[in-house]
Structure 1
Amino acid sequence: MRVEKRFHSLDSFRGLMAISVMLYHLRVSGSFTEWLLFRHAEIFVSFFFVLSGFVLMHAYGSSAQFIFRKFFITRTFRLLPLHLFMLAIFILLECGRYMAAQKGMDFNNEPFSGKFAPSEILPNALLLQSWTHLTNPLSFNYPSWSISIEYYTYMIFALILGIAFGIRTWAWATMVLVALALMYAGNTFFTIESLRGLAYFFTGCLAYTVYVKLPRPNQTQTWLLTTLEVLALAAALVFVVNDFAAKQLLASPVFGVIVVIFAFDGGSVSRLLARRGFGFLGKLSYSIYLTHAAVLFCVVSAFMVARKIFGVDIAPMIDGTRYLDLGNVPLNNLIALLVVGLVVLVSMFTYRYVEMTGQSLGRALANNTAHSSPALRSDTEI
């Protein structure tokens, strides 16, 4: 199988789920942000982990000459530039909050306190915030908690790939089973974020080993793949919108199966997802995921300033959560759509000038040590 293969439907899933996570964090009264799917969309972060493990196995698992230095450089420059850029943006926003507070503006918490404390800056810069109980995984740019886990999980993946090539499948399975067992047992030694990331990422690795062993369907079997895709989406919807005790544990096999089904890109749903618009969102997914918290912060702050100026509570607190509410459902839906559009516009900028610049620099540094390989051109992980 060719390493250069792109999984178009999976790329599109990444974009759609990044939008869904953004809508999970956006609360607009009476709008589509309150649909049951989006109120449970936090589970889609687990899908990101599974998909990353799957794609990295595709990119590096069949490499006869795995070079850790190349892997380290390309993965670092894939994730770190945008992460550090957004961390800097949040520090600047916190400075703005501080100046506004000096002028009498009221916020939910004091500037540079709690999850925005200066002591959280260095752990965030080093992507360590989710690995220790001494730090707040949701500090500063809160979606980056998963990037913290993903980055070092990449390195664990590379270590196993480099020293346990012959037994790596057993190593992946052991990581998944141990992590899920600790989650089930209510472990308090490791952070729950690290266990989730390890379990789901290496589930993705196992999913890829299953995928490569399955026979390739021919064109006459499109109906079969379409049926499987529809059933997978229906099962995923039921799974996502329902809460039950074992949900975090079952996310591992459920999302693993879905990734394998859609990796074939052979059904009608896959063909729909392969269209340009969905692919565009997939390309922007990492930027959407990391920039949306800052955009939402700015939008909510603007509503709070307007509330103070006009004396109308258009940013009410409901059950401890800040909502946006213009008092009219159609207007609220319009506001939600405009925020989504704003996030996409910002993401287009950061993708072009931060992500792509970082990736180009990473490839240049990696290629100083040896000729580039097809695996180094993979840019599909978030």
Structure 2
Amino acid sequence: MAKAMRFEALDSWRGICALCVVMFHFIGMMPSSLETSPFLRNSYLFVDFFFVLSGFVLCHSYRGKIVNPSDMLRFAIRRAGRVWPLHAVVLASFIALVVWINRLPHPEDLDLTVSGTVYSIDAIIPSALLLNAMGLVHGNVWNGPAWSIGAEFYVYLLFALLLLFSGRRLVLPCLALAVAGLILLHRWAPALMNSTWDYGIIRCIAGFFGGVVAFHVHEVTGQRGFFRATMWELGAIVVAVLFVIFAGDGADAVSPLSLAAPVVFGAAVIIFAGQQGLISLVLRARPFKALGRYSFSIYMIHQPLLIMLCYGLWSGGYYTKAFEGAVTQPWMGSVDLVMVDFMLAVVVLAAASYRFIEVPARRAFNRLADRPFAFRFSRKDRLAYDRSARLPYRLGVADHALDRG
């Protein structure tokens, strides 16, 4: 079997978008000259880029390969190994830090409570089980960005069921799911495309299955010359940037235009999947590829680190937007430089997290998934399994670095 295609340009975009999300959260908690930027104020929308890209990549990797319950179980184990171990480590570490901080002087917002707050005990189990995007908790509890990981994991299982029963006939059911998700968000979700802990699972369905449809469009897209591909790539960036700018006035004033996120990002993914233009060539350079590898860790660790930074500044008497308190020290220097330093620190720590947590955990779960599972199959299912078992199913093929989940 030929080696699976690597969408390296898209992988790099994942890393860049993860940094945009970091900046979005930074300007929400720290004073900054960039806090009025309409692009950064709406950069929460790049979570929808992650959803679209996950649907695109998983369709590329798994379409036609889940034909029986054993395949589905292996898929679920691999997906759990991709997203849960780092989430569990970050959650446990953050809980320990909050418990320790509660023994010291701290702002009221960091109070450890039994229920009803961001740092409540009753929210720990739903968070650990990735049930933090289904309305079972109130607010973005503990590690706030992890809601999207919870939403994705259960959408993965929905996708596997669809593969099990629909095989390769995915376009119409996935298009129906994506459109239905957008309709439900428009009718039910007050925050529209900024839905998180309440309607986050529906938001993920819209983006993920939009990404599956985008993969099928990519398959029938013809080759472009270098110049033409470059123009398409530039156009995709301009459209995406303008969309983000005009999709509302920050996370608390979301426009109905935000519902176009799966379409806008789906088009961008299709264009850059070809990897034929100048921008794709630049994005395939080693620094951008590394940023793509670390994107999941960047996304998962940045919020607890930002909260710890704000707590340290609060303790020193400096002003932040995260915690109220007496301001006794004037800011010396530029907060924007603090943001640059913070982002560099996040990338360095994410590299370590990728190396020492993500990769070992993924390999361990993949080894578990490769074990035989005893299910009773029909003769047709056994024959299908025998054919699929001959396909290479390694980390570098179906679970490559782009496949963040």
TM-score normalized by the length of structure 1: 0.89
Asked if structure 2 preserves the Cα contact closer than 8 Å seen for 1:11 and 1:279, the reply is yes
Residues 237-273 of structure 1: per-residue CA shift (max 9 Å, x gap): 1110113432231111111101000000001111111
Residues 45-98 of structure 1: per-residue CA shift (max 9 Å, x gap): 010000000000111114385711221111110001001001101211210221
Asked if structure 2 preserves the Cα contact closer than 8 Å seen for 1:11 and 1:283, the reply is yes
2:268 to 255, 258, 270: 258
1:356 to 354, 359, 374: 359
Aligned to 2:108: 107
**Shift, 1:30, TM fit:** 3.4
Residues 143-186 of structure 1: per-residue CA shift (max 9 Å, x gap): 00100100000000011001111532211011111111111222
Is there any run of 5+ residues in structure 1 with no aligned partner, and where? 308-313
- Alignment of 1:87 onto 2:109: no
- Alignment of 1:282 onto 2:292: yes
2:141 to 139, 148, 159: 139
**Shift, 1:110, TM fit:** 2.4
- Alignment of 1:215 onto 2:235: no
Match of 2:26, as an amino acid? L
Write out aligned runs for 1:1-382 (5 A).
Answer: 4-27=4-27, 28-32=30-34, 35-63=37-65, 67-101=71-105, 105-112=106-113, 114-131=117-134, 133-186=135-188, 191-217=198-224, 221-244=225-248, 245-307=255-317, 314-317=318-321, 327=331, 331-369=334-372, 372-374=392-394, 375-382=397-404
Counterparts of 1:317 and 1:212, CA distance in 2:
47
Counterparts of 1:341 and 1:166, CA distance in 2:
42
Match of 2:62, as an amino acid? Y
Aligned to 1:311: none
Q: 1:364 to 1:2 in 2, by over 3 A?
A: same
State the SS of the aligned residue for 1:85: helix
Asked if structure 1 preserves the Cα contact closer than 8 Å seen for 2:19 and 2:298, the reply is yes
Asked if structure 2 preserves the Cα contact closer than 8 Å seen for 1:97 and 1:111, the reply is no
State the SS of the aligned residue for 2:331: coil
Counterparts of 1:128 and 1:160, CA distance in 2:
21
Q: 1:381 to 1:333 in 2, by over 3 A?
A: same
Q: 1:288 to 1:203 in 2, by over 3 A?
A: same
The alignment yields a C-alpha RMSD, in angstroms, of 2.5
Structure 1 stretch 238-247 or stretch 228-237: which is displaced more? 238-247
Asked if structure 2 preserves the Cα contact closer than 8 Å seen for 1:3 and 1:58, the reply is no
State the SS of the aligned residue for 1:327: coil
State the SS of the aligned residue for 2:138: coil
Asked if structure 2 preserves the Cα contact closer than 8 Å seen for 1:326 and 1:332, the reply is no
State the percentage of identical aligned residues. Answer: 29
**Structure holding more helix per residue:** 1
Counterparts of 1:138 and 1:326, CA distance in 2:
31
Asked if structure 2 preserves the Cα contact closer than 8 Å seen for 1:23 and 1:33, the reply is no
Q: 1:301 to 1:109 in 2, by over 3 A?
A: closer
Counterparts of 1:266 and 1:83, CA distance in 2:
35
Match of 2:367, as an amino acid? A
Q: 1:350 to 1:235 in 2, by over 3 A?
A: same
TM-score normalized by the length of structure 2: 0.84
Counterparts of 1:77 and 1:319, CA distance in 2:
35
Residues 99-142 of structure 1: per-residue CA shift (max 9 Å, x gap): 114xxx333352235021100001011101111x2313511000
Asked if structure 2 preserves the Cα contact closer than 8 Å seen for 1:53 and 1:202, the reply is yes
Counterparts of 2:337 and 2:56, CA distance in 1:
37
